Amino acid sequence: MKSTTEKPSSIAVDWGTTRFRAHLVAGDGRLLESVDSDEGMGQVRDGAFEAVLAHRCEPWLLAFPGLPVLMAGMVGSRNGWREVPYISCPAGLADIAAGLASVTTSGGATVHIIPGLVTADAAADVMRGEETQILGAGVDDAVVILPGTHSKWAIVRAGRIETFRTFMTGEFYNLLTRHSVLRLLAEPQADGSDTRSAFQAGLDAAAADGGLLSSAFRVRTGVLSGRLSPRDVEPYLSGLLIGSEIARAIELAPPDLPLVLVATGIVAVNYSQAIKAAGGAVTVVDPERVLVNGVLRVARHNKDTSNVRPD
Amino acid sequence: MKSTTEKPSSIAVDWGTTRFRAHLVAGDGRLLESVDSDEGMGQVRDGAFEAVLAHRCEPWLLAFPGLPVLMAGMVGSRNGWREVPYISCPAGLADIAAGLASVTTSGGATVHIIPGLVTADAAADVMRGEETQILGAGVDDAVVILPGTHSKWAIVRAGRIETFRTFMTGEFYNLLTRHSVLRLLAEPQADGSDTRSAFQAGLDAAAADGGLLSSAFRVRTGVLSGRLSPRDVEPYLSGLLIGSEIARAIELAPPDLPLVLVATGIVAVNYSQAIKAAGGAVTVVDPERVLVNGVLRVARHNKDTSNVRPD
């Protein structure tokens, strides 16, 4: 961890089910230092949240006493450090900042946890962490797409998150590629091999056909009949699932709103290709970047974290 | 195993991925004796198929030398006793009977394996075992529905199987209830408790909503918000998946054909309720009954098994 002489504004933490990511953030949002570990919610035993924070961020906490620590993600869930009640949609920066809950560590540090959101409709769909990324995207009117294990599509108008919907796309991919009969047909991709055509074939199948229950089986028949290479099974399934998500989500997205995709790497490539194939266009923003921006925006709108300098 | 003095016509075996079921069958189709074990394809090691047959059916084979043994199911697959080439649709009794392949055991018994079917379309959908049940249903014109891990919907006209389609309904149910995040929310049903309303709620969700990727997550939000009891998770998911299968399959089913459901027990109850909810009506037939009928019909149309007495 490199040392820094610049006075940071805060420590921004993205603490989800599988990862712990912390950033020492300058007043202008630049990342001065970062740490990343696999100590997600699922890994923390006996509620030892403070121990993880102390272990990963000790140098920062010692060097900058009183520096506000802000966290987003499942850390605010029932099984997290402290359960923070969901804020009901529609919700904007002020609503979310007002819902901030805090924990004081034995070391005297104050940890502020950003609340998640619940939709106002009967589905009562929920998110924790994505609300901060959406705020960080800084869009007034857009459909913000956050791919993942449980992908979110959020409708933002006048800077407020009106509603959103979850798709279990990443989880279904894991189920089919790790636990289903289809896993037996798959072979790993050769390094650097082109997966675009197999992914596109999956997109085409999702667009053409009636339902995942039927189209997923086409992977098996495709390999049996030689139409599909075992190495194409995973990108094909990825295309099939992402294509299915987008086919549904596009129907729900107000056509007057631009699409903003919060993704990087292969996920950004896949979703961009899929949305383009569905006739849409997206602006891609970096997940880490918008998370940190969102944390700073929330911090600056909460009196307890007012020592986070404004831009 | 009770003894019998009546001369049987054949031994009918349903040998799939998970079960081995054999029946000593009278000329009129009555079951004289039956054995059932978990020695499905997945359990047979080192190709020891003959050993399983000898072990389970030895008394019959000794008592009735030369009695034809007919098998249907995955026993005819690449990983089975002998791979029997698929017959291409449209296919009727004569086509399937002509595709019979045989194996002679070291004990001198001749085992005839009934071929599976492949569709003529680009999907090249496949089945092994269900073709025999469809023939055994004895319908000239119908849509035959065979629920299961991989449910099949087959279109039969003039006694021939024109085409069919597979839905991974049972497998998706196992994936979601055993391996997904939703499994953590589920509690087992109390014995004798009513699951119909939760199942119906799942059917309604399937009919109302856009896609499994989204509607499956409603189980999580439903439990979190208290709308859904942990004990209702599994019947709700069952309704959601069966409802999704039927919503798609009904679109593909020619409206002029009656629906015949090959199912028993809770599966018959679930599919009957779901099809009724979708505005359809079904005739329910017993899976074991139609399997045996199908084996006999095939046997009587193949010269090598002509010693199977006609009705």
What CA–CA distance (Å, rounded) separates A176 from A199?
A: 15
Selecting from B169, B181, B248 the residue whose C-beta is nearest the C-beta of A171 gives: B181
CB contact under 8 A, A221 and B176: no
For residue A161, give every residue at least 6 positions away whose Cβ sits within 8 Å of its Cβ, in sequence order, or none.
A89, A90, A91, A92, A117, A131, A134, A154, A155
The per-residue pLDDT for A208 is 78
Q: Do the chains contact at B221 and A251, CB–CB below 8 Å?
A: no
User: Least CA distance to A219: which residue of chain B?
Assistant: B123
Q: Which residue has the tokens 């006999």?
A: B296
Closest alpha carbon to A134 in A120, A106, A114, A105: A114
- The string of DSSP codes covering B114-179 is ---EE-SSTT--EESSHHHHHHHHT-SSEEEEE-STTEEEEEEETTEEEEEEEE-HHHHHHHHHHT
- pLDDT exceeds cutoff 70 at B209: no
| pLDDT at residue number B190 | 75
B307, pLDDT greater than 70: no
Higher-pLDDT residue of B29 and B90 is: B90
* Residue A79 near chain B (CB below 8 Å): no
Of A126, A113, A122, A173, the residue nearest A149 (C-alpha):
A173
Q: Cα separation of B257 and B280, whole Å?
A: 11
Domain ranges (residues) in chain A: 8-139+288-301, 169-286
Q: Mean pLDDT over all residues of chain A?
A: 92
Task: Report how far Cα A60 is from the mean position of its chain's Cα atoms.
Answer: 25
* Any A CB within 8 A of B165 CB: yes
Contact check, Cβ <8 Å, A213/B175: no
Which of A41, A88, A151, A168 is most worth mutating to test chain B (most B CB atoms within 10 A of its CB)? A168
Binary contact (B126, A216; C-beta < 8 A): no
pLDDT on residue B311: 42
**Cβ–Cβ gap A214/B179 under 8 Å:** no
pTM for this predicted structure:
0.91
- List pLDDT tens digits, range A40-90: 988 898 889 999 999 999 999 999 998 999 999 999 999 899 999 999 999
Rounded to an integer, what distance in angstroms lies between the CA atom of residue B90 and that of residue B210?
33
Whether residue A222 contacts residue A182, with contact meaning beta carbons closer than 8 Å, is answered with: no
CATH class of B8-139+288-301: alpha beta
Q: What percent of chain B has pLDDT over 90?
A: 79
Which residues in A lie closer than 8 A to residue B165 (C-beta atoms)?
A: 214
pLDDT bucket at A5, cuts 50 / 70 / 90: low
Tell me which of A214, A220, A238, A240 to substitute to probe the interface with B (most B C-beta atoms closer than 10 Å): A214
Exposed, middle or buried: residue B180 (CB in 10 Å: 0-12, 13-18, 19+)?
buried
Q: Which one, of B54, B58, B49, B51, lies nearest residue B15 by Cα?
A: B49
Decide: helix, strand or coil at residue B102.
strand
- Given the candidates 1.10.10.10, 3.40.109.10, 3.30.420.310, 3.40.640.10, the CATH classification of the domain at B169-286 is 3.30.420.310
Task: Tell whether B169 is within 8 A of chain A (Cβ).
Answer: yes
Instruction: Name A147's Cβ contacts closer than 8 Å, sequence gap at least 6.
Output: A169, A170, A242, A261, A262, A263, A267, A270, A271
Q: Kindly give, in sequence order, each residue whose CB lies less than 8 Å from that of residue A193, ignoring residues fewer than 6 positions away.
A: A231
Q: Per the CB < 8 Å rule, is B168 touching A217?
A: yes
Residue B306's pLDDT band (cuts 50, 70, 90)? low
Q: For A155-204, how does the pLDDT look when each residue is reduced to its tens digit (9 = 90+)?
A: 999 999 999 999 999 999 999 999 999 998 898 877 777 889 999 999 99
* A6 neighbors A32 (Cβ within 8 angstroms): yes
Query: CB distance from B212 to chain A under 8 Å?
Result: yes
Q: What is the pLDDT of residue A302?
A: 76
Question: Which chain A residues touch B173 with a CB distance below 8 Å?
Answer: none
Q: Mutate which of A126, A209, A213 to test chain B, going by most B C-beta atoms within 10 A? A: A213
Confirm or reject contact between B306 and chain A (CB < 8 A).
no
